[in-house]
């Protein structure tokens, strides 16, 4: 299951396509639109401090509905990667492996807040101030900025929870990621309770899925090849 990033997350818009050989290898590809994105409903509460926990509850409900009898592999970018890790920590029997690209495990106020403020400034220069009845996509992005700035002030940190993750985890990080530094990726991997690998993609940005889609797809295929095929599990 593919889990999209936050902010202007593309949700059901194209991921790197196609993933050659996945159906023949026994894999079924699923994509989830979180509230406020893609084909899902709006987010009536926006992104309050516990938004990762509420999104996680919805993700687990989807997993229970779509795959009640077996585990899934979760591949997430940025916020989606964080959700994948939390799902693996809370429901280890439901998650066979996790692949994350630019995932967050904690906030670093000094580096993240200036980046978020600059991103919000550029967004508002392009789209203007909020207007009554504006489309869900724009309202979601505005709320996402406020939500992330708030948890940065609170010192959000899930590293203690990651010790419960026992499944294999592949961590990908863009060399030129301006939001999550390389050290963050290695610290995330060190907090995990199971096997993990870390790859730094030369020239990659935050969200290698967008900056280097072919390399991202190859990275995911290589990780899947290390796991038992679903039909064999």
Stated pTM of the model: 0.93
Residue carrying the six token digits 């401090």 = 49
DSSP characters over 33-94: --TTSTTSPP-TT-S-TTHHHHHHHHHHHHHHHH-TTS-EEEEEETHHHHHHHHHHHH-GGG
Res 222: pLDDT: 92
d(CA 121, CA 56): 29
Res 116: pLDDT: 96
Domains of the chain and CATH, by start: 2-105+159-224 (3.40.50.1820)
Specify whether the CB–CB gap between 33 and 11 falls below 8 A: yes
Specify whether the CB–CB gap between 76 and 3 falls below 8 A: yes
pLDDT in tens, the chain (233 residues): 999 999 988 777 767 766 666 766 678 888 899 999 998 999 999 999 999 999 999 999 998 888 887 789 999 999 999 999 999 999 998 999 999 999 999 998 888 999 999 999 999 999 999 998 899 999 999 999 999 999 999 999 999 999 999 999 999 999 999 888 899 999 999 999 999 999 999 999 999 999 998 899 899 989 999 998 654 44
d(CA 140, CA 162): 27
DSSP summary character for residue 212: S
Expressed in angstroms, the distance from the first to the final Cα of the chain is 17
Q: What angle do CA 189, 193, 196 make, to 5 degrees?
A: 40
Cβ count within 10 A of residue 202 = 10
């Amino acid at each position: 299951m593919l889990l999209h990033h936050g902010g202007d997350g593309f949700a059901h818009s194209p991921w790197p396509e196609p993933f050659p050989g996945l159906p023949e290898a026994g894999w079924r590809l699923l994509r989830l639109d979180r509230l406020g994105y893609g084909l899902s409903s709006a987010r009536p509460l926006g992104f309050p401090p516990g938004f990762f926990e509420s999104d996680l509850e919805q993700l687990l409900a989807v997993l229970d509905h779509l795959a009640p009898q077996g585990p899934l592999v979760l591949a997430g970018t940025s916020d989606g990667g964080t959700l994948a890790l939390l799902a693996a920590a809370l429901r280890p029997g439901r998650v066979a492996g996790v692949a994350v690209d630019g995932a967050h495990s904690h906030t670093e106020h000094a580096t993240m807040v200036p980046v978020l403020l600059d991103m919000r400034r550029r967004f508002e220069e392009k789209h203007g101030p909020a207007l009554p009845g504006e489309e869900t996509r724009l309202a979601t992005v505005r709320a996402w900025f406020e939500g992330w700035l708030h948890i940065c002030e609170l010192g959000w940190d899930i590293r203690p929870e990651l010790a419960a993750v026992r499944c294999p985890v592949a961590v990908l990080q863009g060399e030129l990621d301006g939001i999550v530094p390389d050290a963050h990726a290695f610290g995330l991997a060190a907090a995990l309770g199971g096997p993990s690998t870390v790859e730094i993609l030369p020239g990659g940005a935050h969200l290698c899925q967008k900056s280097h889609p072919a390399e991202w797809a190859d990275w995911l295929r290589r990780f899947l090849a290390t796991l038992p095929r679903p039909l064999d599990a």
